[in-house]
Every structure is written in structure tokens, then in C-alpha cells.
Amino acid sequence: MKLAIALCATLAAALQAPLQIHNHNDNPKLTVSKSLFTELEELARIVDIAYCVGTPAPGISKPFECPSRCGDFDSFELVTTWNTGILLSESCGYIALSHAPAAKRVIVAFRGTYSITNTIADLATIPQEYVPYPGAEGNKSGPTVPKCEDCLVHMGFHSSWKNTKDVILPDVQISMEENPGYELVLVGHSLGGAIAALAGLDLVGRGYNPTVTTFGEPRLGNQAFADYVDARFNLSRNGTNAADYEPSNFRRVTHVNDPIPLLPLEEWGYMPHGGEIFLNNSELPPELEDAYHCAGSHDPSCSAGTASSASHRWGIPTRFKIWQLFFAHRDYFWRLGLCVPEYWLWFDNKKVD
């Protein structure tokens, strides 16, 4: 009962007014490049495969096989999978090598939660102090890492990463050492996006240069923490054309009507970081013109404009179909969160009114 009340209260506060597809004609769109759009679409399929981890057999197996989209990636080689929670409440995912003729990459894919209810419950915890690597571990060797002054981070997300890093970091290190010239790529959806972001910060502190892409990433910490992420990934950009934002080592992809990037609430002290790319289309799949770069972390043309800050009504408008939120959070290029044969995906990716 307490969980249900907390869930309703959190959603109600996040959705103080009906979410709408906004008309963004007031500001020119900085549409992403075709190459970046193609890369993001591919990464959406790559992270979708992570939902096969922690499911009943067959899951993901070597060389790179699963019931879902593994057939799209003939040159992939599975390194390992992980699951840190017996109740699927922690971190799950996989590490794979992407060999030529595809781009040469070491890919770490972080799965989100199966239940959006669990996601919201995960958001309802207090923040804790954030100490960047190596400070938290007392390891003073390696690169000098700037301090994160007055930084607070979501306790649940931070705990999930702490439980994950000892499992995956040895395989990441070995994969990078054995495959020189390969790019380190982190990708995550939902809760997995939060963990991917924290993993990216940790790996930067360890001397790596990862490219991080998240889909539906929730807010991670306070303003000081958001500023720290911006500084570490050079996300404080305010350009007049798309070239000013590309290339970037952190792409925070959000979707029209997805409430999760607005949570936890600003009233609780949580703020978004930069690097946002907004998908302004509820249809699947989106077109190139639907994806554009956002200026800063509070661009009203992007996810920040999907929630009204003028009113503080506790209640969800009756005309708003709450279950559409669940689809909006999953709809990133394709409907994510499934591990089913590819021909089933055609039916699930149809628009639900």
C-alpha cells in the first residue's frame, strides 16, 4: 500500500499538467546529423538486447545469440553477461565486442528494470555524498580526478553501480587491453541509463575515454553533481548549429511524454545534466527531423518543456491515459524492454492509441 501511494504521489507531482507534444517553432531545431541518428537507432537495438539477460532460457549465449535482435549484429562477440540481483532489482547487462566490418567497439549494455513501478520506487530514496573514483577507494595511482564539491547522488543508483563495477570492470579492462584501438561504448535504458552514466564517470576517472548513450535516464543527483557530469564530459555547450554539439562523449536521449527524465523531482533536489537529445515524436520509428540537440540541461523545447512548473496539482488529469506513460518510456526508436523473436516486434511496435 505504501508503495502504491508513493508511486501515485510521485507520478502526480511529476505530471502536474497533461504532457503534450509541443510545438517548437519558436526556436530553430538543431537536428542531429544523419550519422548520429543512425548510431542512436543502432544503440537502441543494442540496449534492447540487454533485456534478454535475467530472463528464462535461452537468454544471451555465445557467440552472440538470443531470441531478440542479436541476428542484427553478425560481427558481435559476447564476452559475458551479469545479473547482480536475484529479484531483477539490481543491474543486468552484457559486454560484447563489435568487430569489423562494424565499428570496432567494446560495448557495455545496461538493462533497465522490467517494471516501471519498480523504477519509480527506485527513485524514492534520499541522496548521498558522491565521491569520484579514486577517492572512494583510496587508490591514488593513475590520473588526477577533480573533486566533486557538494555533490549528492541518488543512493539507489549509486548502490547499483557499486554492486556492478566489481563484476564488470575486470572484463572491461581485459577487453580493452586485448583489443587495442577499440572504442569503449556504454549504453543504458531507464535505470540502466543511470548506471551507465555513473559507470562513465568512474571509467573517465580510471583513464578511459568512454562514449556514453542513455535512453530515458532519470535524474542522478543535485545541481553540483549535474555540473560535475557536464564538466567531465564537456556538455556545457550552447551552439547555433548541430555541429557545435557533435561529436559528444555523452548523449542523453529523451522522449516526448516520457516522465522518467523528470524524476526524481526538482523539489527533492534532483537536477538534470546536459547532453540531451530529444525525440519529439510519439510514432515509431521516429524520423531524422524528430531528433534534435537541446541547449543546456533545461531547454524548454525538450523534456524540460513537457512538465508545467506553474501549477502544483496533486492529481493526474482524467483525460490523460496513464498507461501511455509506460509506452513512452519504452519508445526509443523501437519499443524497448522485450526479449522476443524479431517478427513479434513488428506487432509490438505498432502505435497503441
Q: Which residue numbers are catalytic?
A: 190, 258, 329
Q: Which residues contact 227 (CB under 8 A, 6 or more apart)?
A: 273
All three cell numbers of 98: 563489435
CA distance 69 to 48: 8
Residue 98 pairs with which residues in a beta bridge? 76, 105
CA distance 61 to 241: 43
Contact by Cβ (8 Å): 127, 269: yes
DSSP tag of 206: T
Residue 335 pairs with which residues in a beta bridge? 331
Contact by Cβ (8 Å): 97, 90: no
All three cell numbers of 44: 537502441
Residue in the structure block whose three cell numbers are 577487453: 175
Q: Which residues contact 269 (CB under 8 A, 6 or more apart)?
A: 127, 152, 222
All three cell numbers of 337: 524492454
Residue in the structure block whose three cell numbers are 547487462: 93
Contact by Cβ (8 Å): 224, 145: no
